[in-house]
Amino acid sequence: MTINTISPAEAMEKMEAGAMLVDIRGRDEHARVRVPRARNVPLEQLSSDHLEGDTVLFHCKSGMRTKNSAAQLQACAGERDCYIVEGGLGAWEKAGLPVVKDKSAPMEMQRQVMIAAGLLVLVGTLLSLLVAPWFIYLAVFVGAGLTFAGVTGFCGMAMLLAKLPWNRTAHA
């Protein structure tokens, strides 16, 4: 059995007929904007135990995560009919289908890490040019940290950012 794609409008019809919609994005992404009645099960935690019913629909933000993980999603779905929502949440919103937005939810952790890393590299570089050359080590330290995070999957900056007050509810 292969996993097929489905338009957001067709997905809505299947949901109304009882299909289960699974949002494979991270919990912080889901908290900020989500499809009503979608169950959030981050991809790295997904198993067949999380799925119910005969038909399962999967979505992410743009459709890329679901397409890249199609084999894993199909394996979790087992004998169920399963579909990937073409274009993900972006296409869902563009089609004018309902979403729940919570602007008070924190920005996605990956975006917070990119902003913090970019600012630290920029500040370190500028300070090394304008104040003292040894400030360049701030940029080097951030670059090394990002490389380490990419190789190991552990991001110390994300761990620190998760402890900030605005992130405590989403990452508790």
Tell me if residue 60 is catalytic. Answer: yes
DSSP string for residues in 113-136: HHHHHHHHHHHHHHHHHHT-GGGH
Q: What are the angstrom distances between the C-alpha of 24 and each of 15, 47, 104, 144?
A: 16, 11, 21, 29
Among the listed residues 60, 76, 82, 155, the single catalytic one is 60
Give 164: exposed, middle or buried? Use CB within 10 Å, 0-12, 13-18, 19+.
exposed
Angle at 88 between CA 152 and CA 97, to 5 degrees: 145
Q: Is the dihedral of CA 107, 111, 113, 116 positive or negative?
A: negative
Q: Show which residues are catalytic.
A: 60
